[in-house]
Amino acid sequence: MSHNVTECPTNRTSQSFDPSLIWQYAFGMTSNIRLIPRLDVKGKNLIKGIRLEGLRVIGDPNEYALRYYEQGADELLFMDIVASLYGRNNLSHIIERAVQSVFIPITVGGGIRSIDDALHMLRCGADKIAINTAAIARPELIGEIAQTLGAQCMVLSIEAKSLTPGKWECYTDNGREKTGRDAVEWAKQAVSLGAGEILVTAVDREGTKQGFDCDLIAAIADAVSVPVIASGGMGKLEDIIDAVQLGHASAVSMADILHYNRATLADIRACAESADIGVRVA
């Protein structure tokens, strides 16, 4: 499959940041599994919920972003979890602050509904754009972003809940609204439209510390030709091994285990290495 790839705009100026890594990461040109802290934001606060509900304030998202950067995160994922509800993304100032001290790829999602919205976030410092609700409403947006900004910037976010064994339904609006779409079929369609990466959040597992839904992740990873990020449910170090070996994930996103200091990225990296899973040396 070929994609129309253009250089992703960035306002990074530090020599410690290599924009070419975004392209390599997005298309799996590195064999290392990426470790991606996830920062869900509501207003000005970093929050954490269970199954995307019951939100609890954690602190300043920029302070946590810097902490995870210093711990050796490969990328950061910022999600405005109420953006779709209010029809706008409010992460602009947070991202502008983050890129002053964080020099790794940043993905931003939530409330991005158009090319103009995507360009605005890139100008603020984001490197990749994640869309869910707007893509479900108008799948053509996937191709528009991929063709305009490059497939390496276009991340499809899938929020899925289990229906029956081997079947998952896509949800929108931060896991609130049913769509009737099959998660695996939607992933395949999105890649055919130009998505360069897929973020898969198992809503049933998110915040529960019960481990990733490896069946869901594997079903999508095995069906598409682009990297898949596993998200939702990491509760112990060994969950990263399952996400990679059973779920076939190219990257793992985690929140609760880091936010509540139950492990550091160094701990997670060491666990992965113990299972001969390639990770970047921090």
Give the catalytic positions in this structure. Answer: 40, 159
DSSP letter at 151 equals G
**Residue 222 three-state SS:** coil
Determine the Cα–Cα distance for residues 185 and 150; give it in Å rounded to an integer. Answer: 23
164 forms beta bridges with 167
Q: Are 36 and 251 in contact (CB under 8 A)?
A: yes
Helices (H), the chain: 20-26, 61-70, 83-86, 92-98, 115-124, 133-137, 140-149, 183-193, 214-221, 239-245, 256-259, 265-274
Q: Which tokens is 116 given? A: 């103009």
Q: How many CB atoms lie under 10 A from the CB of residue 137?
A: 13
Q: Which tokens is 145 given? A: 């972003």
Determine the Cα–Cα distance for residues 189 and 27; give it in Å rounded to an integer. Answer: 17
Determine the Cα–Cα distance for residues 187 and 195; give it in Å rounded to an integer. Answer: 9
CA angle at 142 for the pair 141 and 146, rounded to the nearest 5°: 115
- Of 58, 60, 64, 87, whose CA–CA distance to 77 is shortest? 64
By the 10 Å C-beta count (0-12 exposed, 13-18 middle, 19+ buried), 176 is classed as middle
279 forms beta bridges with none
Determine the Cα–Cα distance for residues 247 and 236; give it in Å rounded to an integer. Answer: 16
Q: Are 147 and 159 in contact (CB under 8 A)?
A: no
